[in-house]
Amino acid sequence: MATYYVLTGGAGFVGSNLLRALNERDVRNIIVVDNLERSDKFRNLIGCQFEDYLDKREFIERLAAGDFENGVDAVLHQGACSDTMESNGRYMMDNNYRYSVSLLDFCTEEDIPLIYASSAAVYGGNSNFTEGPEHEAPLNVYGYSKYLFDQVVRQRLLDAHPPVVGLRYFNVYGPNEAHKGRMASVAWHFFNQFQVNGRVKLFEGSGGFANGEQRRDFVSVEDVVKVNLQFLEQDLDSGIFNVGTGSAGTFNDVACATVNACRQLKGEGPLTLGEMQAGGLVEYIAFPEALKGKYQSYTQADLRNLRGAGYEQPFLDVATGVSRYVARLAAAT
């Protein structure tokens, strides 16, 4: 009997990059699951090869009906609503929590590996980013939906075989994120702002940080995909693992990397942050009221558990990763 992988969120940001990486390994036996009501995501599937595409609602119905018994090698669950400003808690919990529990139940019953996307949003305003409940206090319903599913996974980990792996993504940037709109990475926004206006906009200081000095762990989608594939291809431990670079960079760092990468493509030399500020290439805008009390001003992945599980590859730093991303964006315009 033919077997295949199920990839939820396969038309989305991380999912489509994972799909392309599987294709590069000559893996085609993939069922892509997504919701294309926002049809612009279809562009992420152009050039990809897979067995079939299923709308998320049809997939859930068929999953409940038992249509996927004895045919799935692994489930790669990337599908979720990632809008941290979403106010519809009922929708968020149904889409991110209940859907995920259904997949966990299926994988447990069928003895199938499950690799799923969690989020650094579970940590909220904490300054300790070690994978433990004592460090988790989400600031919005998106973070809570991920947090709650992680708790269900923890309850089942002792009996988990084959593995259940939760990957807590920090601030991911890279190709195929344009459909995310306001929730796309700052690197994407900075590139587009600089192309149109010749300057980039950052938030003024907040959370005790100066203008543009809020710090996040910015991680390339290239590295996120590599982590997923190593857990898929090797018999690594079950558990919940941070996926970031292990180093916090400022939004000013991302702005500098983006502007200088754009300048390099035009044959122009690099500038310092001070030179960009003096030349009006960097502008600071008021911190949005809607984000107050819901915003992480600092994140930095603790990678000890990931390294302990056997993932040893280095991560791209912001300057390198953003420069490569900008080159991709510029080539597509």
> Among all residues, which ones are annotated catalytic?
142, 180
Residues 305 and 242 sit within 8 Å (Cβ to Cβ): yes
Q: What is the DSSP letter of 82?
A: -
Radius of gyration of the chain (CA): 20
User: Residue length, the chain?
Assistant: 333
Q: What is the DSSP letter of 115?
A: E
Helices (DSSP H) in the chain: which residue ranges? 13-24, 56-64, 89-92, 99-110, 141-156, 186-197, 221-233, 251-265, 273-278, 304-308, 318-332
**Side-chain half-sphere exposure of 302, counting CA atoms within 13 A:** 12
CA 13 vs. chain centroid, Å, equals 7
Partner residues linked to 215 by β-bridges: 250, 298
Quick check: bond before 138 cis, omega within 30? no
Residues 282 and 199 sit within 8 Å (Cβ to Cβ): yes
